[in-house]
Amino acid sequence: MAVTLKQIAEIAGVSRGTVDRALHDRGRVSPEVAERVRRIAEELGYHPNAVGQALARSRKQIKIGIIVQSAETPTMKIVVEGAEQAARALQKEGVEVVIRTMESVDAIQEMLYLDELMEMGIHGLAITPADDAIICEKLNEIADQGIPVVTFNADLPQSKRMCFVGQDNARAGRTAAGLMALMVAQDGKVATITGHLRNDGHRMRCTSFSEELRCIAPGIMTLPIQPCFDRDDCAYELTQHLLAEHPDLAGIYVAANGQHGVCEALREAGRDGKVRVIAYDVTPQNIDELRQGTISILIDQTAREQGSRPLMLLRDFILYGRRPEHSFCYTGITLKTRYNL
């Protein structure tokens, strides 16, 4: 297992930043401390990332590719903004970020972008991967070439990616189940509308929600999961059909995008505020729905961080050999109601 800067810092009794400065001759570190840090690093067999060090010494521009799926949805627009913000900051350090966006979850389009980025000579890759065997195989091929891969927002844990950045979707789903159980009658009906069943994160939010709700409130009937493909028009039609087939519907769990379509259908049926809605992401449109009482609770996943953090992690690894401390770098689970906006 590779030695980390954190391990060296703990043994030396200094901060990780001090270790970084001592090993890379950056910033002020006393000669005694620097010597102790280098000695400990040598004894532990620490070796900086050779590619990153060579790039830094030659001042060759580092290139990182990032692929964002479903980029036209409100949440992923915030993710893209985070990536663009990080790209501007990294540009000042000589790091070029190449951003490619996709309108939906499309493994074929993603493969084309992966081939394009590899031809451009990227040194690192951040990606919201489609849950598809060909994508997993391609990411493994890229990792085997020594190019670090970070997944974000959606994950392929069976791949050779370095780490995942995003919400703990299983925990978020269980949180939503606990909240729903508090808001609806114990013999009520609850529907689940999600984005894509082939998206790892969407699927995990749904299954953990259903399992937890059956465990803590067995009297509540959970209706079959319905995908809306992250489209408001599809979510609107699904909600209309649900209300027609189940006039006693008590709650709707919106596990991805499509929130506005759900709210529109509830308003037209005069059921807004009566059917409890739990949805994701603090976007301007969702905030309006929350204030109006159509959405009961929002679960935020810190979307901007999901766009910026993968790029910074790749920069740290490529340039300085700093691996993430965990293979799952979870962002927050923040609850918002109309009372704490």
Distance CA 46, CA 7 (A): 10
Is residue 245 in a domain? yes
Q: Is residue 105 part of a domain?
A: yes
Q: Residue 53 domain-assigned?
A: no
- The string of pLDDT tens digits covering residues 12-68 is 888 888 887 777 655 567 777 877 888 888 788 876 665 555 555 455 679 999 999
Confidence of residue 94 (pLDDT cuts 50, 70, 90): confident
As a whole number, mean pLDDT of residues 326-331 equals: 94
Determine the structural domain holding residue 25 and report its residue range.
5-47
Residues 185 and 288 occupy one common structural domain: yes
189 & 230 share domain: yes
In this prediction, residue 200 carries a pLDDT of 85
* Average pLDDT for 75-93: 94
If one compares 247 and 38, the residue with the highest pLDDT of the two is 247
Can you say whether the dihedral through the CA atoms of 33, 35, 41, 43 is positive or negative? negative
Query: How many other C-beta atoms can be found within 10 angstroms of the C-beta atom of residue 140?
Result: 16
Q: Where is 323: in which H helix or E strand?
A: none
Q: At what angle do helices 107-119 and 133-144 cross, to 10 degrees?
A: 20
Residue 173, domain CATH: 3.40.50.2300
For the record, the structure tokens of 280 come out as 């994701």
Same structural domain for residues 309 and 289?
A: no
Run of H or E including 129: none
Same domain, 292 and 173: yes
Is the Cβ–Cβ distance between 131 and 70 less than 8 Å? no
Domain assignment present for residue 271? The answer is yes
Q: Is residue 55 part of a domain?
A: no
- 254 has a pLDDT exceeding 70: yes
Token code pair at residue 85:
């913000």
Whether residues 188 and 264 share a domain: the answer is yes
> What total of structural domains would you count in the chain?
3
**Percent of the chain, pLDDT > 90?**
76
Q: Is residue 341 part of a domain?
A: no
Q: Same domain for 149 and 182?
A: no
Rounded Cα gap, residues 155 and 166, in angstroms: 9
Tens-place pLDDT, residues 283-296: 999 999 999 999 99
| Whether residue 204 sits in one domain with residue 245 | yes
Indicate whether 129 belongs to any domain.
Answer: yes
184/257 same-domain check: yes
Indicate if 186 and 296 belong to the same structural domain. Answer: yes
Angstrom distance (rounded) from CA 102 to CA 316: 26
**Average per-residue pLDDT in the chain?**
92
Angle of helix 5-12 relative to helix 16-24, nearest 10 degrees, comes to 100
With 0.85 as the threshold, say if the pTM is over it: no
Do 163 and 310 sit in the same domain of this protein? yes
Q: Does the residue 54 lie in any domain?
A: no
Whether 259 contacts 286, CB under 8 Å: yes
* Burial class of 109 by CB neighbour count within 10 A (0 to 12, 13 to 18, 19+): middle
pLDDT mean over 173-179: 98
* All residues at 6 or more sequence positions from 19 whose CB lies less than 8 Å from its CB, including other chains: 5, 8, 9, 12, 37, 41
- DSSP lists the bridge partners of residue 194 as 227
pLDDT of residue 49: 61
Q: Looking at the structure, tell me whether residues 12 and 91 fall in a common domain.
A: no
179 and 258 in a single domain? The answer is yes
